[in-house]
Amino acid sequence: MVSKLSSDEVLSFLIIVSVILIAARVLGEVFRKFKQPAVIGEILAGIILGPSLLGTLFPHLFETIFTSQKGIPFKAFDGLAQIGIILLMFIAGFEVDLKQIRKQGKKAASISLMGLIFPFALGFGTVWFFYDRIFSTPQGTSLVIPAMFFGTALSITALSVIAKILLDLNILRSKIGNLVLTAAMIDDFLGWILFSIIIQMMGKSDNSFGSVVMVIVFTIFMVTIGKWIVDKILLIADKFLSIGGLITVAVSLCLLSAVFTEYLGVRGIFGAFLMGVAIGDSKYFPERLQNILHQFVINIIAPLFFASIGLRVNFVTNFNIEIVGIILLIACLAKLVGAGAGARMSGMNKNESFAVAFGMNSRGSQEIVLGTLALQAKIIDEPIFVGLVVMTVVSILMAGPLMKYYLAKNDASEAANNEPQITIVAQPETIVTRIN
């Protein structure tokens, strides 16, 4: 018999969702009023409501809200938050212009590979040569696993977070927005390949190579034949179903795609993103329907996920300023140099390269998931996990404002260069004014 939530567990679940949603939306709107990405406020809401502040100052209240009923209501909330990030990646896929990606594919690959290889090498080397300085746990028989873990954790760009930031800044459809999102997609995919290898080395999974091959095949399928099949499905749905039915079909396709990639071990958000790309390219799922989903996801369900990040760790009891500083410095320096160099190599100017670099520097849930597995496998300890979370939050806080700053600076520079220049040329009998 399938068990169900009791009345008290349902009540606790509703309280958790209500408290987190209200706090995340209020702080998100506050940051939006100051022209900053709402995702910053949403994560801050989780930190305030989590063990760092509410759990420290009012532990009984924190336990009553989040850990009562043996934690079952919070597990239900976590499932809802995961749906939120899957749907967020789905609507982010709507905005991707495949034609523009084809034009920018080489640039995106340059940014992504440089932004992945350089941080991975620096993170790997840091652990290999300075293990005792960073890790409090005794050195094991091999440094390969912790070194690979550290390199992977520092190198991956969070596709979901950068998509939210680009949406908040309203630049996802721009040339820079599409380029950053494309580079982040490549980065995220390669990162999940590394992630699969790490999990296998930890003894958590097997057949990672076969999973990677399957995902590559699925990606190619979704942007070619799969896109055509999806278009035909939506054509039939458009003929026989209402608007609500058409949205249901689209969301169902998103979830099925997420199920498939999650089954392959490369996370459901990647499959949701690919389905979003396919559906967004179909004329049978017009922009007005996309906007309905967009408003629901951005304002209702995605904030639950970003707030949940701050609920997962106590920053007070496990905070080590030296470890946090080392992780933050290495992660940001390596990513900014790598992605920035890749952007310059692709032909972008200095301000555009800085904007791309700070966008690619944003981290997200992947680092936290990987860190959780490493913590459970005793590869890292709590202070390093806290350092990774702090690095994740700080990189997100940096990304939106600094992207906005350098893009504005680039626009001002281009406007100055495009202003007409007036030259006065003196001649013996008259003065000729030329406007170039």
pLDDT band at 434; cut points 50, 70, 90: very low
Alpha carbon distance 403, 361 (integer Å): 10
Check pLDDT > 50 for residue 54: yes
Proportion of the chain above pLDDT 90, given as a percent:
17
Q: Which residues contact 27 (CB under 8 A, 6 or more apart)?
A: 41, 42, 44, 45, 48
Indicate the burial class of 55 (C-beta count within 10 angstroms; 0-12, 13-18, 19 or more): buried
Scan for tokens 């799969």, then name that residue: 226
Of the pLDDT bands very low, low, confident and very high (cuts 50, 70, 90), residue 193 is: low
Which residue has better confidence, 369 or 177?
177
Taking 50 as the threshold, does the pLDDT of residue 430 lie above it?
Answer: no
Averaged pLDDT, 368-392: 79
* Ordered structural domains, the chain, with CATH: 95-301+308-411 (1.20.1530.20)
305-330 mean pLDDT: 85
What are the pLDDT digits (tens) for 118-147?
989 998 998 888 887 777 666 655 788 888
- Give me the pLDDT at residue 199, please: 64
Q: Is 262 in contact with 255 (CB distance < 8 Å)?
A: no
**Residue 186, pLDDT above cutoff 50:** yes
Name the pLDDT band for 182 (thresholds 50, 70, 90): confident
Report the mean per-residue pLDDT for the chain.
82
Work out the angle between the directed axes of helices 208-222 and 225-240 (0-180°, nearest 10): 60
Query: What average pLDDT does this structure show over 236-253?
Result: 91
Does pLDDT of 425 surpass 80?
no
- Which positions ≥6 away from 388 have C-beta within 8 Å? 153, 327, 367, 368, 371
Query: H or E segment at 193?
Result: helix 175-201
Which tokens sit at 87? 């749907």
pLDDT band per the 50, 70, 90 thresholds, residue 173: confident
37-51, 198-212, 239-253, range with the lowest pLDDT: 198-212
CA distance 131 to 91: 41
Q: Which helix (H) or strand (E) holds 159?
A: helix 159-168
- Which residue has 């699969």 as its token pair? 196
Is 249's pLDDT higher than 50?
yes
Among 6-10, 51-55, 203-207, the minimum mean pLDDT is found in 203-207
pLDDT band at 109 (very low <50, low <70, confident <90, very high): confident
Residue 436 has pLDDT above 50, yes or no: no
Contacts of 371 by beta carbon, 8 Å cutoff, 6+ apart: 153, 380, 384, 385, 388, 389
Residue pair 92/276 in contact by the 8 Å Cβ criterion: yes
Computed from CA positions of residues 87, 89, 92, 96, in that sequence, does the dihedral angle turn out positive or negative? negative
Question: Would you say the C-alpha torsion 84, 89, 93, 96 has a positive or negative sign?
Answer: positive
* pLDDT over 90 at 18, yes or no: yes
Let me know if 40 is exposed, middle or buried by CB neighbors in 10 A (0-12, 13-18, 19+): buried
Burial of residue 253, with CB atoms counted within 10 A of its CB: 0-12 exposed, 13-18 middle, 19 or more buried? buried
**Token pair 């700053």: residue:** 405
Residue 196 has a pLDDT of: 63
DSSP 327-382: HHHHHHHHHHHHHHHHHHHTT--HHHHHHHHHHHT---HHHHHHHHHHHHTTSS-H
Residue 422 is predicted with a pLDDT of 53
Residue 160 has pLDDT above 80, yes or no: no
pLDDT of res. 314:
78
